[in-house]
Amino acid sequence: MQEVESIAKKWSQIDFEHLQRNLNEEVQAIGVRESQCRVARQQLIAESKNYYEHADKQSRKAASPLIRAFQKEYDRAIERAKAAEADLIFVCRTFTSVCDPSPYLEQVSTLLKEVVRLRSVEEQVRDLTKQLNELQEEYDHLRNQVISITIS
């Protein structure tokens, strides 16, 4: 039960509204960075075309494999970034779509205390039932003795 109370306490320390706001802002920032990346890619393509148009055949031939290698690595980096961003957006959207659990977790603490109290009451009832049964047996035994004495 202490573990549950500890978890509830940790959740109650989180400013859930602030966290959700930050996550929404991050999702929007991802969109902005994505747009900037598209613009930068178009600039790189334009610069590459410009280079190919103005460079002599020998230097184009020498630089071409290097430029292609950079383009491939750039494309792989973009692919990784998009995958990471998609996962982050999924987590952010999931987190921002749920309600703050703090009020419910506060109730958990109260309910746990009630469970402990009820367990104690159950134990007391068992003890009292046992005592009652013992007293009933003793009473029956004494009554039988009184009847025996009266008969004798």
- Placement of tokens 């460079």 in the chain: 55
Q: Two tokens at 137?
A: 């047996």
Give, in degrees to the nearest 5, the angle at Cα 97 between 96 and 102: 75
Q: According to the model, what pLDDT value does residue 1 have?
A: 66
Separation of alpha carbons 134 and 57, rounded Å = 109
Task: Assess whether pLDDT exceeds 80 at residue 8.
Answer: no
- AA identity, residue 80: R
**Three-class DSSP labels, 45-114:** HHHHHHHHHHCCHHHHHHHHHHHHHHHHHHHHHHHHHHHHHHHHHHHHHHHHHCCCCHHHHHHHHHHHHH
For the segment 114-138, what is each residue's pLDDT rounded down to a tens digit? 999 999 999 999 999 999 999 999 9
Reported pTM: 0.56
Task: Assess whether pLDDT exceeds 80 at residue 152.
Answer: no
- AA identity, residue 46: A
Q: According to the model, what pLDDT value does residue 108 have?
A: 82
Interval 22-43 mean pLDDT: 90
Q: Is 151 helix (H, G, I), strand (E, B) or coil?
A: helix
13 secondary structure, DSSP code: T
If one compares 37 and 5, the residue with the highest pLDDT of the two is: 37
- Placement of tokens 């071409």 in the chain: 64
- Mean pLDDT lowest among 33-37, 44-48, 67-71, 99-103: 99-103
Q: According to the model, what pLDDT value does residue 129 have?
A: 97
Domain residue extents for the chain = 15-100, 101-152
Separation of alpha carbons 24 and 31, rounded Å = 11
Residue 34 Cα to chain centre, angstroms: 27
For the segment 69-126, what is each residue's pLDDT rounded down to a tens digit? 988 998 999 999 999 999 999 998 888 888 888 888 878 878 888 999 999 999 999 9
Q: According to the model, what pLDDT value does residue 15 have?
A: 86
Task: Assess whether pLDDT exceeds 70 at residue 6.
Answer: yes
